[in-house]
Structure 1
């Protein structure tokens, strides 16, 4: 059974803001740790989408659980996983943290944080592929292998859930948390 987004499964940023002020919600961020460190809604707990299956339901079935991610797609997937597992009183933040920020609500995180790792991966992979194609047409056809190699790496990342380029980029000094 696939759960689809319905009005009853969504919560607006304004509704969530009110619930947080009244401390009536358990808020879970399903993004990756680097995204959470860059900006998150105050009071949110981190549980990346890959780990959502391991979440235990709250002690009280009256506790409202709200999930969010960047735009609402990953949190919808988390919603479907938890709904199948029998979680009660479950909501998905409509529009994710993007909508939360658009509404002017506060976020916590690193000041002047770098681009998210996924954006860095997209920029780096896209640049390498484009460079391989341009050099393949203008210098030597052997440069097409660069584009193929990067494409193979992206395929591996999609199939395995492990992006070697992202792991490499996370080791760069500007992506490390201060003090490490």
Structure 2
């Protein structure tokens, strides 16, 4: 897969190993998956934001019209951001959009959350969500 150069900004894709090192050194991780995907589990990072790049609607996937606005309110354009999604496709487009919007130091995490999990890296599953999900009796499963 080539880089998206039509915007004039070249997307840099790093693998999950490099992404993990960047995150450990204090980079912010921007998870652009849907809230539902995020709640099922996400990259174990101290500085993590979930701002969906796309929403799933009855008509299919629709780009989040407030994406750049929401990222701009959570991060500075000088922040080093690692952008990730489920497999690395949405994050590629999100990274391109952020670079075009003037963000200076944004990298796409190749392979996304699936590659992160496959590498055995730390994953967090939001505790608060699990509290409300009481286990069902075996008969209902």
Gaps of 5+ in 1: 112-175
SS in 1 for 2:43: coil
- Indicate the RMSD between aligned Cα atoms, in angstroms: 2.7
- Greater per-residue helix proportion: 1
Structure 2 residue 40 is the aligned partner of structure 1 residue 38? yes
Matched residue, 1:179? 132
Equivalent position to 2:67, from 46, 52, 55: 52
Greater relative CO, 1 or 2 (CA 8 Å, sep 6+) = 2
- Greater per-residue strand proportion: 2
Q: How big is each residue's C-alpha offset from its partner over 1:129-149, in whole Å with a ceiling of 9 and x where there is no partner?
A: xxxxxxxxxxxxxxxxxxxxx
Confirm or deny: 8 A CA contact 2:16 2:110 kept in the other structure.
yes
Structure 2 residue 29 is the aligned partner of structure 1 residue 13? no
Larger Rg: 1
Confirm or deny: 8 A CA contact 1:2 1:80 kept in the other structure.
no
Structure 2 residue 110 is the aligned partner of structure 1 residue 94? yes
How far apart, CA to CA, are the structure 1 residues paired with 2:119 and 2:132? 32
How far apart, CA to CA, are the structure 1 residues paired with 2:85 and 2:20? 16
Q: Give the ranges of 4+ consecutive aligned residues of structure 1 lying more than 2 Å apart after TM superposition.
A: 1-6, 57-60, 176-180
Equivalent position to 1:107, from 123, 135, 138: 123
Q: How big is each residue's C-alpha offset from its partner over 1:102-137, in whole Å with a ceiling of 9 and x where there is no partner?
A: 1110111169xxxxxxxxxxxxxxxxxxxxxxxxxx
Q: State TM-score, norm by structure 1.
A: 0.55
Structure 2 residue 18 is the aligned partner of structure 1 residue 2? no
SS in 2 for 1:48: coil
Count, aligned residues: 113
Residue 60 of structure 1 deviates from its aligned partner by: 6.5
Gaps of 5+ in 2: 54-63, 134-141
Q: State TM-score, norm by structure 2.
A: 0.69
Residue 3 of structure 1 deviates from its aligned partner by: 4.4
How far apart, CA to CA, are the structure 1 residues paired with 2:91 and 2:132? 31
